[in-house]
Every structure is written in C-alpha cells, then in structure tokens.
Structure 1
Amino acid sequence: MQQEPGSRVGDTGGEVAERVRQVIVAVGVSQREFARRIVMDPSKLSRSLSGARRFTVAELARVADTGDVDAAWLLGSGEPSSGEPSSGARAAVRPRRTATAAPAEGGRPLQIVRETVRLIAERGFHAVRVADIAEACETSTAAIHYHFPGRDDLLEAAVRWCMDEDTARRAARTAEAADVADELRQLIELQTPHTRQRRRQWSVWLDLWAEAARSTVVGGLHVEYYRQWRATVADVIRRGVAEGTFRPVDPEAAALTLTALIDGLASQVLATTPGEPGTSADDMQRALLAHVDTTLAAH
C-alpha cells in the first residue's frame, strides 16, 4: 500500500470490498458498529462495499488495524492459500508500534480519536498539534497521518465519534426510563454538564460549533447531529402528548425551543468556574425542568 493515505484504491473486481466484508464478519459485529470502530460514515462504508465508492488508503489502514489483518492482504497481495490474512506484510504497509507499547483499547484508530477529543477539550482544536496526539498515543506522527491524513480528517472523525458516543448513551439511558416524562428528564440530565466528563464533552462541542461555520464536512455533521437530537426529543414529546402527559403542543417546535435553551445554558455553565458565582449545572437543570413543567406538563 504505497499510495498516499488520502488516495483512492482501485477495486475493479470488487475484491477489496469482499475482503473488507470478510473482516466485518470475522470481527462479529454489525456493519454500522464496524463503521463506528473505524470512525467512518456508515453510508460511506455501505457505498464502498457496494462498489459505488472506492476506499481510501487511510480507511483500509483503519480496517486492517481494527480487524487485526494485513493491509496488504486487503489489497490482494500476499494472499495465503488458506484464504486467511497473512502475517508477514503488516510491518511493511503501516508504521510499527514500539516494542513496549501496549495494544490500544479498541484499536489504534479509536485511540487516536479519543485522544484528539481529550486534547481538543483541554486546549481547543487549533492549539492541538499532530505531534501532541502522537505523544498521547505513544506512537509517531507518521502513524497518525497514516490513519487520518490531515487535520480535517481528524476533526471529522472527532465529531463523528462524539456523535456516536452521545447517541449510544442517549439510547441506553432512555431505555431505562419509567415513562415519557422520565425519558425527557433523562435526556435533559444527559445534556447537563454535572461531571468533568460532561464538561469536557461540552467544551468539545463549543469548539466544534465554530468549526462547523467554516467547514462544509463538519457543518454537515453538525446539522445531522442536531437533526437526530431534535427528532429524539420531538418523538418523546409527541408520545407524551398522545397519552396526555404533555399539553397538545407542536413536538418539533417544542424540541427546537428546548434544544436552544439547553445550548444557551450550557455555554453559560462552561463559562463559569465550578464553585464560583455564575450559572451552575444545578441552575441549568432546574431551569430546564421548570421550562418543561411550565410549557409542556399537562397539569
């Protein structure tokens, strides 16, 4: 695999796509989950597997790392007679890990993205260098560029990872809710930066808002995330209206208003140092619950 990481790989006969399918089957997860693990848009993975789109070298590097196979085997070189990935070509097609480095949890691509998100939260996107990410991952800048050729690729991956993590937490939390009113309370709780981890997530989101105004790709992801979030809230409100828990309001309009209130309050919370005078996470949660009680609850 000697091409540039961002270049497209030819796959006239669909052999590369077929090998990627074999990797997904061997990993034992759904196609969507595999896309999450390689930090790739599920629709792009689907189009690449169907032949409508060609994989990039960097994407195949992430597939190889996540599936623990040779990148050369994905391209059809050095294929063993048994049909299983060979073990000799990996070092030649992607950077070696140091002898003392432990395997990254979830694979190198996810480790890179997790550390990128952490550093963005601490320093801001434009203050984070590839060298900083490489140091945090105990690897080389070449390894970072091999999986994510440029800063835009890293930013897109970071946004996508944050979206996936938030969606997974949202699904898990609402599945445990007792009723629709509790579902809405759980959604509000998830968006309230009570913990250090949630403050970090909001710090990343605030940094990415500015990038969304400048980047078409990140802007598209930003729009998609909010579309999904508002659809989730609107669905809860719609069900609450149908059963009489909430007033007969327009679910989409109510979801838009609640989202705007959450975003505005969260920015005030993050501008306040914990323990100092200002808007606290508790203040935010009380204000949001009061808004729900005043405008939605059917008394």
Structure 2
Amino acid sequence: MPNAAGDRIQDNAGDIAERVRKVIETAGCSQREFARRIVMDPSKLSRSLTGTRRFTAAELARIADAGQVDAGWLLGSGTTGPAAEPELSSPSPRAGARVSAPPAAGRPLQIVRETVRLIAEHGFHAVRVADIAAACDTSTAAIHYHFPGRAELLEAAVRWCMDEDTASRAARIAEAGADEDAGAELSELLALQTPRTEQQRQQWLVWLDLWAEAARSTAIGQLHVEYYRQWRTTVADVIRRGIAQGVFREVDPEFSALRLTALVDGLASQVLASSAGAEDGTSPDDMYAALLAYVRTELLSTAEG
C-alpha cells in the first residue's frame, strides 16, 4: 500500500539515509543549503541522516525533486513509497489569476513561494490548498504530495521567509567585513527589516500570521523561537563589536538587542497596517527614522552622538 505524504518511512539499515547523502553530495552544496532547498529544518535533516529520526514520505518527495532522482530509488524500490508527482489534470486558472512557472529549484519551492504570496495577500486561514494549486497550475494532489497539509505549508512558508532573511543578513555581514563601523552595519541590518520592497512586505505579512499561530502550534512556536534567537544574536554581536570599537556606549548587548527587536516588530506592524498613501499612517521612512533615532539616543557613544 503506498505511503501517505505524512507517513514516516522505516530505514532500519540506513539505506535511505545513505542515498540521501549521495543526493546531497551530487548537488554540490552543504547539508544546510540542501535543507534550505527542500524547505526542511536543518536539524531534522541531520537527525534523519544519522538515524535518530525517520524521513516522511513528503520529505523524500522534496529530496527527490531537488536532486532530480526517482523517489522510488531513494526507497530502494520503484514500486513502494511515493512515486512520481501525480500527473492529474491541472485545474483551469481563474480569470486574471497569476500562474507562475516552476522555478529552476523545482516544484516544492514554487509551491512555497506561491503560498507566501497568497498568505501575504489573504491571510493563512483564507488560503485553500486549491488556491495554491491553481497558482502553481497543478493539482491539489501534487501539493499534498510535497506538503501533507496546511500546517506543513505554513511551516514551510515561514521557514522560507526565515531562510531568505537569514541569507540577506549573512550576505550583508560578509560584504561588510570585520573592520566596518558597527554603527553602519547595524543601520544596514535595520534597513533589511524595514518593509519597503514587495518581498519584504510579503515576508512581514506572513510573519503576522506566524505570531498568531506560534501561540497555538508547537512546530510554528519552535520556528518563532529559532528565528528570534538568530536575529537577536546577530544584533547583540554587532552591538558588542561596536562597544569594542568605541562606537557604542557600554550597554548590555543582549538586552539592547531585545529592546531593539521589540521596536522593529511594533513599527513594522504599524507600517503594514497603514493604508497606502495615508497621510497619518506610518511609512517605511518613518519606521527607519525611528529605528535610527533609537540607535542614536540609546547606543551611540557620546563622541559619536
């Protein structure tokens, strides 16, 4: 009997894990990067590869897609487990609906990106799997093949937003180098958190749904904790470096990062809630100016202020 997408697959001999390792090796990227490509928690991928956790059928489907291998090969059989993505007749797109072509990274990332867009436009609880299927020009069966249910889709959408944000921060830090003025680096990091571009707004709108779901879902709550831990650690490290450079005054880096994070979240929610073009609304420029004012009055040393 075929496995359902959410079923965990037995791998007593470790053969599946070994085949997945070969897929990652052939992909020529790190394990963490491969996890990003299949929209999977890197720690879950690691535990599955070491045998302390079993892969789900849906995870193996995404691995097969990313590695361009047959899912049956991952299982050691062409007749058991998940087969090729269901080739059911695609639903006809609604008039005026946007249909995107599958990206080079494969169907799973296309599904996730369209899920992010739809959540940003309508809110998670208003988005149906059928809407995502129509946006991807495929069937609901194909969506469920990669993501068993709506909860998994929200988790994947949040993780994708997290990964995009983390990648942007990492690129900014690498570009700056260790010798850059910490004040300028912090200003750049805050600019990345200001919802100006369409992608930044989409990510923030998904984040609003995350806040509500985090109080009800253990999986989403863990993502929430993980993201904020990473972000505050990044900010605290920049503040600590600024203190060493004499740019920032002697403050508690962790507590300052916590306060600054709360300010970012509150201002971003005001920007998103403001109507486009409303004179009395909070604009991205207002948000960024308020963040810089906080840095100037609370962090910069007297010599810099």
Q: TM-score, normalised by structure 2?
A: 0.90
Letter in 1 for 2:48: S
Q: Which residue of 1 aligns with 2:298?
A: 295
Q: Distance in 1 between matches of 2:3 and 2:274?
A: 48
Structure 2 match to 1:261: 263
| 1:82 counterpart residue number | none
Q: How does 1:5-154 map to 2 (within 5 A)?
A: 5-78=5-78, 92-96=83-87, 103-154=102-153
Partner in structure 1 of residue 220 of structure 2: 218
The 1-side partners of 2:174 and 2:285 are apart by 24
Unaligned runs of 5+ in 2: 91-99
Does the aligned pair in 1 maintain the 2:2–2:81 contact within 8 Å?
A: no
Tell me which residue corresponds to 2:201: 199
Conserved 8 A contact 2:61-2:82: no
Is this contact kept in 2: 1:62–1:109, CA < 8 A? yes
Q: Indicate if the aligned counterparts of 1:156 and 1:218 stay in contact, CA closer than 8 A.
A: yes
SS at match of 1:39: coil
Look up the equivalent residue of 1:4 and give its one-letter code. Answer: A
Contact between 1:121 and 1:203, CA under 8 Å: does it hold in 2? yes
Residues 91, 53 of structure 1: alpha-carbon distance in 2 compared, 3 angstrom cutoff: closer
CA distances 1:168-216 after superposition (whole Å, capped 9, x unpaired): 0111123333321111000110011122322222111112111111111
Tell me which residue corresponds to 1:84: none
> Equivalent pairs: percent with the same residue?
71
| TM superposition outliers: structure 1 runs of 4+ over 6 Å | 88-91
In structure 2, distance between residues paired with 1:195 and 1:33: 25
Name the CA distance, whole Å, in 1 between partners of 2:273 and 2:10.
Answer: 49
- Structure 1 segments unaligned to the other structure (5+ residues): 79-87
The 8 Å contact of residues 105 and 111 in structure 1, kept in 2 or not, is answered as: no
How big is each residue's C-alpha offset from its partner over 1:119-138, in whole Å with a ceiling of 9 and x where there is no partner? 00000000000001011111
Corresponding residue of 2:189: 187
Q: Which moved more, 1:88-97 or 1:138-147?
A: 88-97
Native 8 Å contact 1:115 1:137 kept in 2: yes
Note closer, same or farther for the CA distance 1:25–1:286 as it changes in structure 2 (3 Å cut): same
CA gap 1:254/1:171 in 2 versus in 1, 3 angstroms:
same
How many residues are treated as equivalent by the alignment?
289
Change (3 A) 1:249 1:102: closer
Instruction: Assess if the C-alpha contact under 8 Å between 2:5 and 2:56 holds in 1.
Output: yes
Q: Which amino acid aligns with 2:294?
A: H
Letter in structure 1 aligned against 2:219: V
The residue type equivalent to 2:211 in the other structure is: W
Instruction: Give 3-state SS (helix, strand or coil) of 2:10's partner.
Output: coil
> Is the CA contact (8 Å cut-off) linking 1:160 and 1:221 kept in structure 2?
yes
CA-CA distance at 1:97 after TM superposition: 7.5
Give the secondary structure class of the aligned counterpart of 1:176. Answer: helix
> Does the 8 Å CA contact 2:3/2:81 hold for their aligned counterparts?
no
SS in 1 for 2:52: coil
Quote the Cα distance in structure 2 between the aligned partners of 1:185 and 1:243.
16
When residues 254 and 119 of structure 1 are mapped into structure 2, their CA distance, relative to the original with a 3 A threshold, is: same
RMSD (Å), alpha carbons:
2.0
One-letter code aligned to 1:254: S
What letter corresponds to residue 286 of structure 1 in structure 2? A
Within a 5 Å distance, the mapping from 1:262-281 to structure 2 comes to 262-277=264-279, 278-281=281-284
Q: Deviations over 1:193-247 (max 9, x none)?
A: 1223222221111121111111111011001101110000000000101121100
Match of 1:175 in 2: 174
8 A contact 2:182–2:241 mirrored in 1:
yes
